[in-house]
Amino acid sequence: MKQILVLLLPTLCSFVLAQTRGNQMQPPSGAPATPAPQAAGGPPITLTLRDALTRAQVYEPQFLAAMGNAEIAHEDAVQARAAMRPGFGISSQYLNTQGNGTWPSGRFVTNDGVHVYREWAIMHQDLSPGTLMGTAVERASALEAAARARAEIARRGLAVTVTKAYYALVGAQRKYATAQLSLDQAGRFLTISQDLERGGEAAHSDVVKAQLQYNAQEQTLREARLAMDTARLDLSVLLFPNLEQNFQVVDDLHLAPLLPPLDEARTLAARDNPDLRAAMDTLRSARADVGIARQGYLPTLAVDLIWGLEANQIGWRTVDVAFPERGAQATPGYFLTVVLNVPIWDWGVRRSKVRQARVHQTQAAVELSVTQRTILRNLSAYYEEAQTARAQLDLLRQQVDLATESLRLNTLRYQAGEATILELVDAQNTLLQAQNALDDGLVRYRVAVANLQTLTGTF
């Protein structure tokens, strides 16, 4: 296939390429790896629809943002689970107190000497109601699941966008090929008209009409070329960081998947619909928020266990400067601190937080109900659209066959002097329209299937 030369400013292409190469970012976990760049002047890249979807997931910012949000939510869940476990740490301190020449403790009566060392191993555990009931972990897990569902929504939405752009280019290429064929036919009809005029079998008006038809088909070819160039640019924006034009797409319009039965589509939509999962997990996190807000009325307990030494010297047995006469004593030991906090009065803050959480829960429940109804509506609409587009294809193919036969017969009749040039031109235009309608119908069905798969997943 002849490659399309796109007229772009070279400086703009160089700037975009330099900016892209200078600011490449590592995709989030779960995103496809960046495809290898195409060498300049090399053979064109051949892309299937699957290849196009993989490339788009590397460069599309909204999809990458959704994937990043899912990773952030995952780390929040990890942190929430870790917060339920005790924390451990090590503390090392040296307290140097100014002496007074009289007492070993120095000028600060709270210290036990002018040199005090603290070497502690610390264990801290919060025993709040949230820790015991795991509401924070439940909330973080729900938010993570909702974020991953939204990432899947973004992926399926991107698949629809890429599918539209991909098959828009395929359809534009088909229309360009049809326009080329129509131009060749118009040139042949013009030659026939001129030959018949020279033989006295046709009027000069036939030649004029044939020339007008040829000029119209030539303009149609230019418009088809422009549409093909535009479709190529639209797809390139989605798939490449530098508006690469040296690629070709695989025309697989005839390999569209068959529609599953409606009952099976409903089962798939109920089992594997990310919109429904996101709404349900959002409601689950809102319920956890209500539980967290209610826990503000309950007392909290914090436990700190410290083991180590606090002495005037570092060692297993040291002399206390305040009581040197007692000699060396065992230094390492532990002490336990337990803090119980009982809320009494906070000017209605806890009650306000509970009401606020309940409002969010009500909103999430309403959104879930709306999502369920919307899914049912969209499933019926998308399935009917795909079914209608599929059924239309047989009729469109029949129209192409009939239009082809009509053009053949009218060509023979015109050569035999039994048909007018108007009938011949009308037959050619009918064939052009029928072929373009078939290509549009094939693209319509593929896009309808892509829309349906946003609800059901791949089938």
- The model's pLDDT over 194-220, given as tens digits with 9 standing for 90+, comes to 988 888 888 899 899 999 999 999 999
Query: Of the candidates 278, 257, 249, 165, which has an alpha carbon nearest to the alpha carbon of residue 452?
Result: 257
Give the per-residue pLDDT at 398.
Answer: 95
**Cα separation of 338 and 228, whole Å?**
75
Would you tell me the crossing angle of helices 421-456 and 349-415 to the nearest 10 degrees? 160
Name the least confident of 91-95, 340-344, 447-451: 91-95
224-281 residue pLDDT tens: 999 999 999 999 999 999 888 899 999 998 888 889 999 999 998 888 789 999 999 9
Phi-psi region of 315 (alpha: psi -120 to 50; beta: other; left: phi over 0): left
Q: Determine the longest span between alpha carbons in the chain, in angstroms.
A: 141
Q: Can you tell me which residue has the tokens 């009308």?
A: 426
DSSP state of 317: E
Query: Of the candidates 6, 66, 52, 36, which has an alpha carbon nearest to the alpha carbon of residue 238?
Result: 52
**Prediction pTM value:** 0.78
Q: Can you tell me which residue has the tokens 């009289």?
A: 102
Q: Can you tell me which residue has the tokens 């010297």?
A: 313
Give the per-residue pLDDT at 93.
Answer: 87
Phi then psi dihedrals of residue 39, to 5 deg:
-65, 140
Number of helices (H), then strands (E), belonging to the chain: the values are: 10, 8
3-class state of residue 48 by DSSP: coil
The class that CATH gives domain 45-84+134-298+343-456 is mainly alpha
Please check whether residue 312 is in contact with residue 116, taking contact to mean a CB–CB distance below 8 angstroms: yes
Strands 247-249 and 317-319: what pairing? unpaired
Neighbours of 118 (CB within 10 A): 15
Q: Does position 64 have pLDDT exceeding 60, yes or no? A: yes
96-143 residue pLDDT tens: 887 777 767 676 767 777 888 888 999 989 888 888 888 899 999 999
For residue 437, give both structure tokens: 């309608």
**Cα separation of 268 and 263, whole Å?**
9
State the chain's mean pLDDT as an integer. Answer: 86
Give the per-residue pLDDT at 229.
Answer: 95
Q: Does position 408 have pLDDT exceeding 80, yes or no? A: yes
Q: How far is CA 151 from CA 1, 28, 61, 392, in A?
A: 37, 12, 12, 34
**Cα separation of 247 and 236, whole Å?**
9
